[in-house]
Amino acid sequence: MMKILDWAREKSPWILHFNTGGCNGCDIELVAALTPKFDVERFGIRLQGSPRHADVLAVTGPVTMQIKDRLIRVYEQTPEPKKVVAIGACALTGAPFKDCYNVNGGIDTLFHVDAYIPGCPPKPEAIIDGIAKLISAKKEAKPVGKDK
C-alpha cells in the first residue's frame, strides 16, 4: 500500500485505454477500477483521451486486423517516455482467438510491452496492481509479469 502511495506522489500516470476488439470483459474491469470501490484516481491514475498526453498505453483485446494499424499509430503518437501494458489474456497472446483469421494476436508482436497483466479478465485489483508495479519498476528492468 505504501509503495502505491509512494509512486503516486512522484508521478500521476495518465492512461490511454485502447480496446483492440476484445469481448469487453477487460475493458469493463478497467473502467470499474475508476469507480468508487477501487477509486484509482486517489492514486493519481487518470484515464486520458489523447495519446499525446498519455504516459501509459493500456491495451486490451486480441488486435483484430481492422484495428491493427490504428493501434500502431496510437502507439507512435504517444510520446516518450511511455509504458505499454497489455491487459488480459487476449492482449498477451490472443488467447482463445489466437488462431482466428481476423486476429493478429498478442500486442507484443507489434511493439514493445512493458507489463503483462494476465487474466480473463484480470480483476480490477490485479489491473491496479499491475499498473502500480509498472510505474515503480526501474527503467532497465525486465518487463513486469512475463517470464522470459
> Would you tell me which residues interact with another protein (CB under 8 A)?
16-19, 21-32, 34-37, 47, 49-52, 62, 64-67, 69-70, 73-74, 77, 95-97, 99-104, 120-121, 123
Q: How far apart are CA 32 and CA 21, in angstroms?
A: 19
Among residues 22 and 145, whose Cβ is nearest to another protein? 22
To another protein, the closest distance from the beta carbon of 139 in angstroms equals 26
Contacts of 46 (CB under 8 A, 6+ apart): 12, 13, 14, 15
Q: Smallest gap, in angstroms, from Cβ of residue 52 to another protein? A: 6
CA distances to 25, 34, 52, 121, 134 from 28, rounded to whole Å, are 5, 10, 24, 9, 21
Q: For residues 20 and 143, which CB has a smaller minimum distance to another protein in the complex?
A: 20
CB of 99 to another protein, least distance (A): 5
Cis peptide before 96, with omega less than 30 degrees from 0?
A: no
Instruction: Give the three-state DSSP class for 82.
Output: coil
C-alpha grid cell for residue 141?
528492468
Complex with another protein: residue 46 or 137, whichever CB lies closer: 46
Which is closer to another protein, CB of 72 or CB of 137?
Answer: 72
Nearer residue to another protein within complex by CB, 5 or 31: 31
Whole-number minimum distance, CB 140 to another protein, in Å? 30
Cβ atoms of 54 and 82 closer than 8 Å: yes
Shortest CB 132 distance to another protein, Å: 18
